[in-house]
């Protein structure tokens, strides 16, 4: 079973500043986290015309719970975590998730 961290970013005070810092500084920090097998992110769009609850969501994938635990204890993850305060002016919600695959 794979594991991942999900990071949900609230609407920032300045979208352009968020985007610039996220892509030029934060993405390289997050990409350096050991054990990371996939990293994706995207801006949230409304499906019903209402303001979405988040500005952007990121997904950090790991092979398993042990790899996730090791990543959380790494200096690279600490550096990425400390950087969040530099751009996430709209707040942030983070959680871990163990993926359960459904065969279709």
Phi, psi values for residue 66, rounded to 5°: -65, -40
CATH of residue 34: 3.30.70.100
Q: How many domains does the chain have?
A: 1
Q: Cβ(40)–Cβ(59) under 8 Å?
A: yes
Structural domain range at position 21: 3-98
Q: Residue 42: its pLDDT value, please?
A: 97
Q: Residue 1: its pLDDT value, please?
A: 77
Q: Cβ(33)–Cβ(77) under 8 Å?
A: yes
Q: Which residues of the chain have pLDDT under 70?
A: none
Check the CA dihedral 42-37-1-9 and report its sign. negative
Phi, psi values for residue 63, rounded to 5°: -60, -35
Q: Residue 60: its pLDDT value, please?
A: 97
Q: Residue 100: its pLDDT value, please?
A: 85
Phi, psi values for residue 35, rounded to 5°: 85, -5
Q: Residue 101: its pLDDT value, please?
A: 83
User: Coil, helix or strand for 98?
Assistant: strand
* Model pTM score: 0.91
- The verdict on residue 53 lying in a domain is yes
């Amino acid at each position: 079973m794979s594991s991942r961290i999900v990071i949900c970013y609230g609407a920032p005070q300045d979208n352009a500043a968020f985007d610039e810092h996220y892509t030029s500084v934060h993405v390289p920090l997050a990409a350096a986290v050991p054990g990371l097998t996939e990293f994706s992110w995207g801006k949230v769009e409304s499906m019903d015309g209402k303001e979405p609850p988040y500005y952007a969501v990121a997904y950090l994938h790991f092979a398993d719970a042990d790899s996730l635990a090791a990543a959380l204890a790494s200096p690279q993850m600490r550096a990425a975590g400390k950087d969040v305060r530099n751009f996430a002016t709209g707040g942030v919600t983070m959680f871990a998730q163990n993926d359960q695959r459904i065969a279709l």
